[in-house]
Amino acid sequence: MIAMHDHQASSPRRAKPRTFRRPARGTLMTGVAVCALGSSLLTACGTSSGSGSGPVTVNFYNFPDPSGAVQQAANNCSNSRYKIIYNKLQSAADQQRLQMARRLAAHDPSMDILGLDVTWEAEFATAGWILPWTGRFRQEAMAGTLAGPLKTATWRGKLVAVPYNSNTQLLWYRSDLVPHPPTTWAQMIADAQALARQGKPHLIEIQGAQYEGVVVWFNTLVASAGGSILNPASTQAQSGPPALKALSIMKQLASSPAADPSLGVQMEDQNRLAMEAGTAAFELNYPYVYPSMKADNPKLFKVFKWAPYPRVSAGQPARVTIGGIDLAVSAYSPHPQLAFQAALCLRNAANQLTAAVKGGLPPTLASVYNNPQMQSAYPFRHLILQQVNDGSVRPQTPLYQVVSAAISHQVSPPSSINPASTAQNLRTQINNALQGKGLTP
């Protein structure tokens, strides 16, 4: 089972499966008020913090996982010293972030391990809500972990979380239409135009709606062109030629016959359905589309192939935006040492293998990709390994929510892009967001 990342409308983020897949601080509040923040979290408010006899309770807050892999990991890791309680957050990523932020702002002591989207670390660390990983815990967290996911868990030179899972988009194509997959965006658009002239399925499916998915697309193109959306200090927008190149490609696709007529409102699942319906030749999407195609259109599945994400230019490999979840330890946990130990266990190789095969979540530990059990579920596992390890991360800033909103408003719908003026508007809007002007999260 392979899952998609939900672009916290994931981000690309976490699994949203069908049957086979999963896409100023507040004042202190009383325990009753904290528990009132969300009925889904009431169970944690009634648990023990370890007083009395028996193992300490370690509360783990994470996205709802219907596969059972997360609960299985919690069961596997519970022992005589601590018992991990898996508390399911709400399904929508923005609601997960809001719920955790409110409880942490209230210094809630019933929170121990937090499953953070890879774009939240800077915000939570800057607010002082999560503890840095130091000493032996830091060494264990980094050992064997892929470089790309480690970037998502690092802020201001400190490791503030441990990578739990990741994700990346691949190029999916029909080998009956295109015997050899394109290696660049220019080649892919040209191939699609040639198919259109022949009256064959030719669309390129990608996420163009005004949400996180289009931000991921833009970020991937900028990084693949050798740039970044923010400067190294995360204080200003950094546009220049890479941003202009990214916007030009988005506009070129939107203006060509290769564009799906619904590009401006499309998300991952609409892309998947269009490919399964036989109207598209190419799709940029997460690995969950592979088992979906196998189940929904077995005939088309025979010619449904994968390839590396297309490059912006022939001489520079693509740097695909990665998603996923990192595990952080709350600054208000009454037993942080046990929480660090439990977090490391939750993301160990055995549990990551289960999460990959059963829950559809690509691992962050390199060794897991060599496990024989990965072969049938991930025949493209080595490509995922490469792209995750070399992947790009979205802008790292405590104000990511407003930066993301500013970007999505400027680049969606892609057909409205004017590369030069949009690049200037983007720079202005991002800088305004970083200065606390305009949009609010």
Q: Are strands 203-205 and 280-285 parallel, antiparallel or unpaired?
A: parallel
Per-residue pLDDT, 20: 31
Peptide bond before residue 287 is cis, with ω within 30 degrees of 0: no
pLDDT tens per residue across span 144-185: 999 999 999 999 999 999 999 999 999 999 999 999 999 999
Mean pLDDT within 304-309: 98
CATH class of 31-167+323-389: alpha beta
Q: How many CB atoms lie within 10 A of CB 370?
A: 11
The CA dihedral of 259, 260, 263, 265, to the nearest 10 degrees, is: 170
Domain boundaries, the chain: 31-167+323-389, 170-307
Among residues 350, 349, 352, 293, which one has the least CA distance to residue 324? 352
User: Longest C-alpha distance within the chain, in Å?
Assistant: 75
Q: For the sheet with 82-88, list strands across it.
A: 82-88, 56-62, 113-117, 323-329, 162-167
Binning pLDDT at 50, 70 and 90, where does residue 376 land? confident
Binning pLDDT at 50, 70 and 90, where does residue 407 land? very high
Q: Is the pLDDT of residue 18 over 90?
A: no
**Domains 31-167+323-389 and 170-307 alike in fold:** yes
Which amino acid belongs to residue 189?
A: I
SS (H, E, C) the chain: CCCCCCCCCCCCCCCCCCCCCCCCCCCCCCHHHHHCCCHHHHHHHCCCCCCCCCCEEEEEEECCCCCCHHHHHHHHHCCCCEEEEEEECCCCHHHHHHHHHHHHHCCCCCCCEEEEECCCHHHHHHCCCECCCCHHHHHHHHCCECHHHHHHCEECCEECCEEEEEECCEEEEECCCCCCCCCEHHHHHHHHHHHHHCCCCCEEECCCCCCHHHHHHHHHHHHHCCCCCECCCCCCECCHHHHHHHHHHHHHHHCCCCECCCHHHCCHHHHHHHHHHCCEEEEEECCCHHHHHHHHCHHHHCCEEEECCCECECCECCCCECEEEEEEEECCCCCHHHHHHHHHHHCCHHHHHHHHHCCCCCCCEHHHHHCCCHHHHCCCHHHHHHHHHCCECCCCCCCHHHHHHHHHHHHCCHHHCCHHHHHHHHHHHHHHHHCCCCCCC
Q: Distance between terminal CA atoms of the chain?
A: 33
d(CA 123, CA 395): 12
**Tokens 């202005």 correspond to what residue?**
428
Structure tokens belonging to residue 58: 């370690």
pLDDT tens per residue across span 115-148: 999 999 999 999 999 999 999 999 999 999 999 9
The CA dihedral of 345, 349, 354, 357, to the nearest 10 degrees, is: 150
Mean pLDDT within 240-244: 96
> Is the Cβ–Cβ distance between 248 and 234 less than 8 Å?
no
- Position with higher pLDDT, 46 vs 382: 382
Per-residue pLDDT, 49: 43
Mean pLDDT within 42-64: 70
Q: Are strands 170-174 and 304-307 parallel, antiparallel or unpaired?
A: antiparallel
d(CA 362, CA 39): 30
pLDDT tens per residue across span 287-306: 999 999 999 999 999 999 99
Buried residues in 148-171 as b, exposed as e (16+ CB within 10 A): bbbbbbbbeeebbbbbbbbbbbbb
Binning pLDDT at 50, 70 and 90, where does residue 4 land? low
Pick the CATH number of 170-307 from 3.40.630.10, 3.40.190.10, 3.10.20.740, 3.40.50.620: 3.40.190.10
The rounded mean pLDDT for the chain is 90
The whole-angstrom distance between residue 82's C-alpha and the CA centroid of its chain comes to: 30
Mean pLDDT within 45-49: 41
> Is the Cβ–Cβ distance between 166 and 117 less than 8 Å?
no
Per-residue pLDDT, 3: 58
